[in-house]
A and B are shown apart, each in its own frame.
Chain A
Amino acid sequence: MTPQARRLVPLIVAVVLFAVLPFVIPSFLTFQFAFAGAYTCAILGLTVLTGTNGQISLGQGAFMAAGGYTLAILAHSAGWPPELAIPLAAIVSFVLGGIVGVVALRLTGAYLALATFALAVSVSPLIKRFGWITGGAQGVTLPFSRDSRVLYAESWGIAALLLLITWFMLRGRIGRSLRALRDNEIAAASFGINPVPYKTFAFALSAAYAGIAGALVATATAYVSPDTFGLQLSLTLIIGVVIGGLDSLWGAVIGGLVVEFLPLAAQSINVAATSLIYGIALILVMILIPGGIAGALRTLSRR
C-alpha cells in the first residue's frame, strides 16, 4: 500500500466508526457524543488559532457564549429552528472574533492570554447585565427538542465539515503563512506575509468555530444560561487542544472526546480528581509530549 493510502486508513476507520456508533450505543451515550462533537468544533478553532498560528486564547468559551446565545435568542424570540440559526451564530461570532482579533494584534504571548482570560471571566456579568435580551440569570429555554441521534448527526456532521474545510485551508498558503507567523513573525513579515489579515482571520475563524460549537451545545441542552459558558469552559477547551495535540486535526477530535468523557469517568474516583488529572496532564504533556496525544501517536506510528 502506498504511504498516502496508509494514512487514509485510520481516517476511513474513524469515519466508519462514527457513522455506525449511534446505531449501536444507547441514546444517552449518543447524546454525550453529540456534546463531544460540539467541543471538537470549538477545539478545532483553537487548533487553528493557537496551534497553527500561535495566538494563545483563553477566551474561546466567550465566543461559544456568543454563538449559543445568538441561537437561543433567535429560537426563543423569533422561532428560528436551530439548523437555520447555527450559520447565523457562526457569522456573529466571526464578526466578534474579528474585532477581538484586531485588538489582539497588539498583544502577544502571555499578554494575549491574560486579556482573553479576562474576556472569559467577563462573559457571565455581561450576559446578566443585558438581561432583557439574554434572559439574564434565568437563562433562555429553547422551544424545541431534538432526538439524540439527530443531535449527534448535526454535531459530528458539522465537525466533519469544519475539519475538511480546515484541512484544505491549512495545507495551502494560508496554513504556511499562519505557521510562519507563529514561528517567527518578524521573519515572516519580511518575507511579505502581512500579519494583519492572517492573524485577524485566524481569530475570526476560531471564534466562528466556537460560535458554532456554542450553538450546538445550546441546541443539545435546549437551554442556555450564564452558567453554561463560564471560565471553566474556556480553560477546558485549552486543556482539550493541548492534550489532544496542538496543530493537529486529529488532536481536535481527541481533545473533544477527552474533555467530554474524562470528567464523567473521573467522577467515580473522586470529584476533585478531574481538576487534578487535567492539571497534571497539562503539565506533563507540555514538558514531555508537547505534541499531545495526537503527536505521541504520530511518533509511535513512525517507529
Chain B
Amino acid sequence: MPPHPNDGDDFGSPFFDVRLRRARLGLVVGLTGIVMIFISFSSAYVVRQGLPTLDPRTNVLLHDWFPVPLPRLMLINTAVLLISTITMELARRHAARKVALGELAAVPGVSVNAEEKVSWLALTVVLGLSFLAGQWLVWRDLAASGFYVSTSPSSSFVYLLTGMHGVHLFGGVVALLTAGVGSLLHRRADSQSIVLDVTGWYWHFMALLWVYILCLLEFVH
C-alpha cells in the first residue's frame, strides 16, 4: 500500500493493517466509555426498583415500582435490528474484500468483480432507520396506554433506556450514511473499509446492548 501524506484521517500510519488495528482499538476504548453510561443507568434502575421512600402521609415506607407492559412492537423492532446486524456484517465483509482484492486488480490481465449485487450498506441504513421509526411508534403506543416519561418510575426508565439507545444507534446510522456518501464520492477503498469495519462492530454492539436493555426491562423487576 503506497503511503500518502494525508493529514488527519490516516491515524498516524500509511499502512492499512496498522490503521485498522488502531481504529478497532479506539472503538473498543470508546465502547468502554459507552458501557459505563449504560451501567450507570442499569444501576439506577435496580436501585430505584428496590427503593422505598417514606410516604409523608402515612409515615410508611412505600414501594412504588410497577412494571410497564411492553408493547409487542418492541419484539418486531428487535427482529428488525437483528436482521440489520446481518446486513451490516455483509457490508463490512464486502468492504474488506474490496481492499484485499484491490491489490490484485492492479495486476495486468487480472479481472476482479468486486461489485456487490445488493447494497448491503443501504439495506442496513434502511433497517436501522426502520428500527428507530419503530421505537418512535412504541413510544406513541405507550403514551396511548397512559405511560408517559413522568408517569411512573418504571415508565421513566423505559423511555430513558430506549431513548439513549436510540440516540447511539442513530450515531451509527450517521456513520453509515457518511460511508455511503464516501463510496459515492469514490473515496479510497481502504478508508471506506476502516469506516465500515468500525461502524460494523459498533452496530453489533448496539444490537447486543438493545437485547440487554430489552431483557432488563422485561425480566428484571
* Chain A bound to chain B: no
